[in-house]
Amino acid sequence: MLDSDMKRGSTELLVLALLEERPRHGYEIGKLIESRSSGQLTFSIPALYPTLSRMEDRGWIEGRWLERPGTRRRRFYSLTPGGRKVLASQRRAWQAFVAAVAQVAGLSHA
């Protein structure tokens, strides 16, 4: 498992990236992060909801309740135009950060 501070700092980027693909509900977001990271990143699903709420308050995502026959009501989140801009900015920042850490720590193969 990766350090919890590292995970906490990447949560918003991960959520925005998954919502770029299509609207999703919180449980699906948490499970996708876990599966796509091969179990290296796990989130307590209830702990993910405050992050989603904060991102919604900032205008990066918007949520709406959907009810489907035979299932319980779920809140689906989608990326807003402002969220797309934040995602692009966070991707650039993370790429620069990872490159700098690799350089300092001697992890680059250059």
Instruction: Tell me the pLDDT tens digit for each residue of 2-36.
Output: 566 666 678 999 999 999 999 999 999 999 999 99
The total number of structural domains that make up the chain: 1
On whether the CB atoms of residues 52 and 19 are closer than 8 A, the answer is no
Q: For tokens 């449980």, what's the residue?
A: 27
Range of the domain at 50: 4-105
**pTM for this one?**
0.86
Q: Find the angle CA(74)-CA(79)-CA(82) to the nearest 5 degrees.
A: 140
CATH of the domain at 39: 1.10.10.10
> How many residues does the structure list for the chain?
110
What is the percent of the chain with per-residue pLDDT over 90, rounded to a whole number?
72
Residue 67 counted as domain residue: yes
